[in-house]
Structure 1
Amino acid sequence: MVKLLGKLFIKDYQNYEDQNVRISYGIMSGVFGFITNFLMATAKIVIGLIFGALSIVTDGAETFADTTSSIITIMSYRLSRKPADKKHPFGYQRAEYIAGLILSVIILTTGFIFFVTAIQRIITPTEVTFSKIAVIILVASLLMKLFQSLFYRSASKLIKSQTLKANSIDSLNDTISTVFVLAGYLIFYFTGKNLDGWFSLIVSLIIIFNGIKLIKEASSPLIGERPDPKLVEKIKERIMVSDKILGFHDLYIHSYGSGRKFVSVHVEMDSNLSLLECHHIIDEIERDFKINSDIDITIHIDPIEEETEEERKIKEELTRILKSYNEDFTYHDFRTIKRKGILDVIFDVAIPDSYKIKDVKFLEKLKKDMYKYNKNLRLFVNIDRYYIREEENE
């Protein structure tokens, strides 16, 4: 259904990576939710008034409130389309993340409200009035909400949208709630037992669980998270396109939305190359990223000199010591400067974020072990806590 509507209303509808296509899918999904909720709410209110069923009219009013989620979705995608300006030089794409967080908070709040209401109904049960028309409305509402949930879920997977995922969970919560209400009606009709309060309690706990889970997922990209290994591999392929690039490290990726990423990286190049030649190579790589991807990249050059025999031995000892601590430890930016009989050894040590030793204690231990090898060394060590696994940077 999502692809069919996309084919009808969205230009280049299969190019899901394109920012304009993503936004169009997001707005289309929001409009779909608004229209279906509006029609459902109108039908419930009209039928309720015709048959004098106040509960159905009330349910219709609650369905109208669901259009709020659709409006938030539409507004967030429209806002994310705005270009960067003086106050927001990185653009507005994170509005989608904020919308997802808002919807998650609404879901969690709804769960707590249901929880309190359920406890009240368990303590003081309310009278249940069975109505065939109410059952018919509930079944129709259940099917529509389930269809909404599947529609949002499909769209969220196509464009990798946390906001649409939150909409999908919201509709699924409504579906589950309706199932339990319907079950309560039928149990009361056939047995006379009123389990409305207990069923409401179960539903509220499901909604609270989903709300907490969604808040965690929606907050993660706002706080900053480990990049997708596929994205890292794509960046690596573009960086290593020239045989003059010997390697790279200190790769940092900052996401300002699905179509806005800023990357910085250090690349290693032969120190014998001229500055002009290095600049030309780096300029070409940066231009390639800008034209052929949604990434703005800044590249720093680290010159690599031909190592001396003394440097080779120091590197071997340094590697041995680091591997004795942890197999994942590596180093880079290694260089030496000799001054008055003392050899200054300068390098960065890359430590995985899972390794919990404090930097000060680690440096003390490393220097102590290196001085055992050669007391005439003077170490200048910078520690990098890397968030990209080492195998992604090989």
Structure 2
Amino acid sequence: VAMIADAWHTMSDTFTSLIILVSFWIAARPADEHHPFGHGRAESVGAIIIGTLLAVIGFMFMKESIMRLLIYQAAQFTPLAIIVFGISVIVKEGLAQFSLWAGKKIDSQALRADGWHHRSDAIASGLIVLGALAGVRLWWIDGVMGIAVSALILYATYSVLKGAVSSIFGEKTDPAIEAKIRTLVLNNAPTASCIHHIHVHRYGDHVELTLHCKLPPEMNLKEAHDLATTMEEAIRKELQVEPTIHIEPLVDSE
């Protein structure tokens, strides 16, 4: 069961790679009348689909592994099978390293999800090799290893879905990024104060930033507008985001 579970898990790599390609294609489409912020969140949708696929595989083989333990049937492993799965550990971990590196480099949630998928494959295959070597004397090892592989798949599912759903719902701005934004505002507008309501809205590669700040009440509308434009240009250049700054008058009590 463990080998069959791992084979299905490996075959699912083909489908997940196809899902990633499609999600990248959709995410790369420009903004249109109905989607003014682009289609970047298609990557998160792709990651949710990958997570759902992993969940189905995990639950299916958890059930099969438990049934194998209940009927007391030992599995037979050939030396060739052990060698093949040993090689697959190296190959899958190599794919995992590349996907995780690429995902970090281009900040792609879908690629990071695929990297974790590959890594869970590598760990699963490694467990199977260990189980195969011990399986001659321990009849129950196939079922136990099958449960272990299934647990890894389900853990990968949790990691993938948690990140993708959190991204779609919207996440709190990183404190380091928020501090950098405040510094940029104050460096380009020393009279600005009470910087608040900093929100970062991610749509794949397209990122929108909104914030509120207060300016002296004696400043006229044109001066306030020009200063807001200066702040926006500085933020846009430094952080590669599309900022919108809302100006409020500073009252004496503040």
**TM-score band, normalised by shorter chain:** 0.7 to 0.9
Structure 2 gaps of 5+ residues are none
| SS of alignment partner, residue 118 of structure 1 | helix
TM-score (norm 1): 0.58
Distance 1:202 1:169 in 2: 16
Aligned position for 2:196 = 249
User: What is the Cα deviation at residue 90 of structure 1?
Assistant: 0.6
Q: CA, structure 1 residues 267+60, in 2 after alignment: closer, same or farther (shift >3 Å)?
A: closer
1:196 and 2:132 correspond = no
Kindly report which structure 2 residues correspond to 1:343-382, keeping only aligned pairs within 5 A, or say none.
Answer: none
Distance 1:101 1:59 in 2: 21
User: What is the Cα deviation at residue 59 of structure 1?
Assistant: 7.5
- Amino acid corresponding to residue 138 of structure 1 in structure 2: F
Aligned position for 1:89 = 36
| SS of alignment partner, residue 252 of structure 1 | strand
Q: Which residue of 57, 75, 79 maps to 1:128?
A: 75
Aligned position for 2:152 = 206
* Partner deviation per Cα, 1:249-286 (whole Å, 9 max, x = no partner): 222322222x2222222221111122222222122323
Distance 2:156 2:139 in 1: 29
Q: CA, structure 1 residues 197+61, in 2 after alignment: closer, same or farther (shift >3 Å)?
A: closer
Q: CA, structure 1 residues 161+233, in 2 after alignment: closer, same or farther (shift >3 Å)?
A: same
Distance 1:104 1:230 in 2: 30
Aligned position for 1:109 = 56
Considering only CA atoms, is the larger Rg found in Structure 1 or Structure 2? 1
- Amino acid corresponding to residue 277 of structure 1 in structure 2: E
* Larger RCO: 1 or 2 (CA < 8 Å, sep 6+): 2
TM-score (norm 2): 0.87
Structure with the bigger percentage of helix: 2
User: What is the Cα deviation at residue 193 of structure 1?
Assistant: 3.1
Distance 2:91 2:50 in 1: 20
User: What is the Cα deviation at residue 199 of structure 1?
Assistant: 1.5
1:174 and 2:106 correspond = no
Distance 2:234 2:70 in 1: 67
Kindly report which structure 2 residues correspond to 1:47-86, keeping only aligned pairs within 5 A, or say none.
Answer: 63-86=10-33
| SS of alignment partner, residue 193 of structure 1 | coil
Aligned position for 1:261 = 207
Q: Decide whether the 8 Å contact of 2:73 with 2:139 is kept in 1.
A: no
Q: CA, structure 1 residues 262+188, in 2 after alignment: closer, same or farther (shift >3 Å)?
A: closer
Q: CA, structure 1 residues 269+188, in 2 after alignment: closer, same or farther (shift >3 Å)?
A: closer
Q: Decide whether the 8 Å contact of 2:74 with 2:135 is kept in 1.
A: no
| SS of alignment partner, residue 91 of structure 1 | coil
Q: Decide whether the 8 Å contact of 1:145 with 1:174 is kept in 2.
A: yes
Kindly report which structure 2 residues correspond to 1:4-23, keeping only aligned pairs within 5 A, or say none.
Answer: none
Aligned position for 1:324 = none
Q: Decide whether the 8 Å contact of 1:125 with 1:197 is kept in 2.
A: no
Q: Decide whether the 8 Å contact of 1:125 with 1:194 is kept in 2.
A: yes
User: What is the Cα deviation at residue 150 of structure 1?
Assistant: 1.9
Q: Decide whether the 8 Å contact of 1:271 with 1:304 is kept in 2.
A: yes
Q: CA, structure 1 residues 127+235, in 2 after alignment: closer, same or farther (shift >3 Å)?
A: same
